[in-house]
Structure 1
């Protein structure tokens, strides 16, 4: 068994609920989507990665382990393209396992044997050039519901762009609220796209977005801190 790997590195988590925590990141190559805001374009094609076995990846992870690191984050690209590989690597470690995913492959996510925390991106129509495929949102909902049912710690991240409209954003949040089986513990992270210098009146817009989500979910607004710190 082999999977295309872009890089394996240690850094601080720059997004979401575990922001600022030291993690070891395993970045897979290959993605089933083509988001226009992607900040890891080199990971979109599986051809850009180096084929590695689970044993080789585990060996590299062990070289990077430090006392302050408690989590392995599988990211991409789209890591859920490789569920068996993730399961195999995870067996070698007692560290928490985190999946950073677009949530569009629910069956794959469900088959990963060990998951402690999942950061699931909710995609908006503005995230794509051309027509928005409605199956993307439906599969994200399916993934969220199965993770909640399995009592896996999951939160949603929604990247907003300067072009994101409040009306369309509200529609997505309302549908999300209607479709989640148990939303009491689901938190939404609003993430303004980087660089922040591209925004005008960002403070005013962020308050509006937060108020929309706050009608239905617990919400926080967190930019990409690793961009601010200028680290990977």
Structure 2
């Protein structure tokens, strides 16, 4: 997307700020973009409290944000929150080595909680870097998604199974997929699965996705066991469960893949 220079000036004058957790370069370990090098912008705040969450540090706003200086070197410096459009643009441009990154990942937390900032930031960062924008989201805020859809190239939607996440968002998920379908934006769905997964919920998820478009890829992600303060560690599904659940969902969908969190296997935390 080629935007005029005045767009850059306009965004810098809005005064909008973001609550940032960290900015760093790493290998994407989940979903459709697994194995690719991305520039991650992790935003603070989330309105969900999923039992399996491995990013509980994003639930609140830290006083300081961590910003990597050299891609992949983990040489972080800290800056006070919140951060401005110009600050974030400068840090992204410093990391944007020619040919290194395949896209920019906007992640969290729940990035759509900061949609007004993203509406100003995304068109400018896309213009300056030439990189596609990939949004990682819980897929439960369709109204906020609509505000930034023109600036997104792809969306990874983390659909919530109540038996695993403790959250129920079926109606919002349905609306979210409808917004994606109307905009003809590339989207895929990720489902965290554990031994506690309710099979009926998987069937409902498959039907919900198929009603929008049966060609939308779905990724079943066996949960990574974590010791959470308020919940017993979740146990990954058995091989038999995974095979049965994939077969069940493929009765409704064309593409159902099983991929664990590969970044944790190779130390890309």
Q: TM (normalized to structure 2)?
A: 0.78
Superposition pairs of residues 54-65 of structure 1, within 5 angstroms: 54-65=85-96
Cα shift readout 1:124-183 (whole Å, capped 9, x = no counterpart): 112344xx54xx2111111111112111000100011221132332233234434x2xx1
Structure 2 CA distance for partners of 1:199 and 1:92, relative to 1, 3 Å: closer
Gap change, CA 1:68 and 1:32, over 3 Å in 2: same
8 Å CA contact 1:166, 1:208 repeated in 2:
no
Structure 1 residue 219 and structure 2 residue 256: aligned? yes
What does residue 189 of structure 2 align with? 156
What is the count of residue pairs matched by the alignment? 225
Let me know the Cα RMSD of the aligned residues: 2.0
1:229 aligns with 2:266: yes
Could you tell me which of 100, 108, 129 is aligned with 2:144? 108
Question: Is 1:89 the counterpart of 2:125 in the alignment?
Answer: no
- The aligned residue for residue 206 of structure 1 is 242
In the alignment, which residue of structure 2 is the partner of 1:21? Answer: 36
5+ residue gaps in structure 2?
1-15, 66-80, 227-232
Q: Which moved more, 1:102-111 or 1:188-197?
A: 188-197
Moved over 4 A (4+): 196-201
Contact kept? 2:21, 2:43, Cα under 8 Å = yes
1:129-144 aligned within 5 A: 129=166, 132-133=167-168, 136-144=169-177
Which has the higher mean CA deviation after the structures are superposed, 19-28 or 212-221? 212-221
1:163-208 deviation digits (Å, cap 9, x = unpaired): 1132332233234434x2xx14311111111149974762211111
- The 1-side partners of 2:258 and 2:173 are apart by 21
Match of 1:188? Answer: 218
1:177 paired with 2:177, answer: no
Please report the TM-score for the alignment, with normalisation by the length of structure 1.
0.90
Whose Rg is larger? 2
Moved more, 46-55 or 76-85: 46-55
Following the alignment from structure 2 to structure 1, what is the Cα–Cα distance between the partners of residues 62 and 144?
21
Mapped partners of 2:115, 2:87: distance in 1: 17
